[in-house]
A and B are shown apart, each in its own frame.
Chain A
Amino acid sequence: GAVVSQHPSRVICKSGTSVKIECRSLDFQATTMFWYRQFPKQSLMLMATSNEGSKATYEQGVEKDKFLINHASLTLSTLTVTSAHPEDSSFYICSARDNYGASQYEQYFGPGTRLTVT
C-alpha cells in the first residue's frame, strides 16, 4: 500500500527558532500534498494544499509567511514553521494523494510530527 513518512516524528525547539518538517511519499508520486494541524482534543484543520512545482494554497487564517511550504519534487513536501512560538505547539500531519493510483478519492496520511515550542 501507499506509504507516507514524516520527519522528524517529534521536535522540541526554543521560541523564535524555525523548524522544518518533511513529508515524503515513499512508493508513489504525489503532485498534491496537504498539511494539517491538530491541537489536543480537536480535529484536523487543513492548513494548506501543497502543489508540486507551484505555490501552495493556504486556508483562510493561516499565515503563509509563517508556515512556508515547498513542494520541489513529486515525493517531497516540506513545512517550515518560522519564528515558532509556544502557541504553534501542535501535531502536524501531512497527507498525499496518489494522482495515478487506483483510488482517486484516497489521501494517505503520514504518521505526524509533534512540535513543542518552549
Chain B
Amino acid sequence: QKEVEQNSGPLSVPEGAIASLNCTYSDRGSQSFFWYRQYSGKSPELIMFIYSNGDKEDGRFTAQLNKASQYVSLLIRDSQPSDSATYLCAVRMDSSYKLIFGSGTRLLVRP
C-alpha cells in the first residue's frame, strides 16, 4: 500500500468551476500536510499546508483535513486555465521534516 495516494487524473473542469483534489495517507501519526503545484518541467511550488482538522482557506484555495478518515483535500474555486498543472499532496510523517509525496493529480481547466 502506497503511503500517500492520489488519483492521477486528469481531472478536467471548465473555467470558473470548483476543482476538488483528494489525497489519502496511510500513517495515522502523520503530522502535517502540504499541497504543491507543479508545472511541466518545473519544480514544485507550495500552495498551502494544514496540520489541524478542518478547513483552511487562502484566496481561491481551501485545504480540508480529516485525520480520522486519513484524507486531505484541496478545493480550487473559480478555476482558471493557468491552474492547469499537476497537484502534489505531501505528508510529513515524523519529526524529521521529511516529506512523502503522492503521485500527483493532473488538473486541466478548459477555457
Which A residues fall within an 8 A CB radius of B? 32, 34, 42-46, 49, 91, 93, 95, 97, 105-107, 109-112, 114
B97 and A112 contact, CB distance less than 8 A: no
Docked complex Cα distance between A110 and B45 (Å): 9
B104 and A43 contact, CB distance less than 8 A: yes
Contacts of A97 in B (CB 8 A): 97
Chain B stretch 30-50: residues in CB contact (< 8 A) with chain A: 32, 34, 41-46, 49
Interface size on B, residues (CB 8 A): 21
Contacts of B43 in A (CB 8 A): 93, 109-112
Docked complex Cα distance between A49 and B97 (Å): 9
B98 and A34 contact, CB distance less than 8 A: yes
Decide if B92 is an interface residue (CB 8 Å cutoff). Answer: yes
Docked complex Cα distance between A106 and B45 (Å): 11
A106 and B101 contact, CB distance less than 8 A: no
Contacts of B96 in A (CB 8 A): 49
Contacts of B51 in A (CB 8 A): 105
Docked complex Cα distance between A41 and B88 (Å): 12
